[in-house]
Amino acid sequence: MKSRWFTPLLIALTLASIAVHFWSTNEPLRFTLASISLLLWAALLGKATESVAHYAGERLGGFLNATFGNAAELIIAIFLVQKGLFDMVKASITGSIIGNLLLVLGLSIFAGGLKFKTQSFNTLLAGHNASLMLLAVIALFSPAAFDTQLDPSEMETFSLIIAGLLIASYLLWLIFSMITHKKELGEEPAVEVPTSDISQTSVAHEEKPEWTKNRSILLLFIAAVFVAIQSEWIVGSVEAVAHTLGWSELFVGAFLIAIIGNAAEHSAAIFLAMRNRIGAAVEIAVGSSLQIALFVAPALVFISLLFGKTMNLTFTAIEIAAIAIAAFIATSISRDGSTNWFEGVLLLIVYAILGTGFYLV
């Protein structure tokens, strides 16, 4: 962002993208402009997240990034809930969770691992992330396990109670991790172990940030908003293309939309991992998944109440299997608090297997 041309270019492209979005029907032009503009905003978002992390710590930086990113997804999901499209909501929740745990985390760990032989982060945090992911899997599995024995109204009650318990545990988690045990879950002293054979450039963490703390948070917020808007526009185009090609709803919802919809998490996490701030990258990827599973999904259950038709929490067997698989492999590679390129590959391979399955269905 040091270059003089960045800000003017960003503004020009954004305006152009807005113009064609509202006054043109030239689909390829709209898609291209939105994509390039998205890339620039995503770069700014990554930079802003790093800057916030510098002032407020990796965990808060990652948390804000994930929250701003998920706010957009929550808004989109509310529209779907209003229309009663519960299956699509659940598919996109599934896609978002596995996209963050496998694709975002996998790419971050892989990219970071190409530059640094071993990257490490707080093991206590890794352990708690694992337990919270397991809670999410249990909470989404339980309604399905009891499904045949409960009638619809009992299932509604069950879903509402689970949703309440999940939100309670997420709020308590924030109190635990941001207040009572903030220090214990903080970043480890960053030990930089550059890979001898690939690249020696070790980035100095002490680098003075360009922006003040408040400015960083503001830029993080603005960038997240534009990333959300423009990824939403791209989703529209992609959806049209996908349906022309005859791809299934499930694949489009759980993979294509999730990939573009999580652009904010993608760019920032990879950006940070390549600067050896793997702790922040994990916080974004895993933290975002947890927020979706423990806060966004249950919140949607309560929001559906307002529209008069309760969305329950019974996911399909394949969705639950995919979420459980993603949670288990992500836990298995991250539990020791250290990562390397091969562990990134493992996550990406699992993502490819699930993606193939969802594509073929």
Q: Does 361 bind its own copies (CB under 8 A)?
A: yes
Query: Quick one: which of 53, 70, 125 has its CA closest to 275?
Result: 53
Near its own copies by CB under 8 A, which window of 4-12, 199-207, 227-235, 349-357? 349-357
**Who contacts 153 (Cβ-Cβ below 8 Å, separation ≥6)?**
none
Q: Does 70 bind its own copies (CB under 8 A)?
A: no
Number of CB atoms found within 10 A of residue 307's CB:
13
CA 311 from chain centre, in angstroms, equals 23
Nearer to its own copies, 245 or 360 (CB): 360
Distance separating alpha carbons of residues 238 and 241, to the nearest angstrom: 5
Which of positions 102-121 make contact with its own copies (CB under 8 A)?
117-118
Nearer to its own copies, 3 or 153 (CB): 153
Which of positions 16-35 make contact with its own copies (CB under 8 A)?
none
Nearer to its own copies, 155 or 256 (CB): 155
Query: Quick one: which of 336, 290, 255, 300 has its CA closest to 85?
Result: 300
Q: How far is the CB of 55 from its own copies (least distance, A)?
A: 25
Q: Does 138 bind its own copies (CB under 8 A)?
A: yes
Distance separating alpha carbons of residues 119 and 130, to the nearest angstrom: 18
Q: Looking only at Cα atoms, what is the longest distance across the chain? A: 64
Near its own copies by CB under 8 A, which window of 34-42, 91-99, 149-157, 273-281? 149-157
Q: Which two tokens stand for residue 74?
A: 């929550």
3-state secondary structure of 190: coil
What are the Cα distances from residue 194, in Å, to 199, 278, 341?
7, 13, 12
Q: Which two tokens stand for residue 42?
A: 């995503």
Q: How far is the CB of 68 from its own copies (least distance, A)?
A: 25
Nearer to its own copies, 185 or 217 (CB): 185
Near its own copies by CB under 8 A, which window of 16-24, 58-66, 180-188, 297-305? 180-188
DSSP codes, 23-47: H---HHHHHHHHHHHHHHHHHHHHH
Which of positions 319-348 make contact with its own copies (CB under 8 A)?
321, 325, 328-329, 332-333, 335-336, 338, 340-343, 345-346
Q: Which two tokens stand for residue 346?
A: 């493992």
Give me the residues that bind its own copies (CB under 8 A), please: 117-118, 123-124, 127-128, 130-132, 134-135, 138-139, 141-142, 145-146, 149-150, 154, 157-158, 161-162, 165-166, 168-169, 172-173, 176, 180-181, 184, 195, 197, 317-318, 321, 325, 328-329, 332-333, 335-336, 338, 340-343, 345-346, 349-350, 352-354, 356-357, 360-361
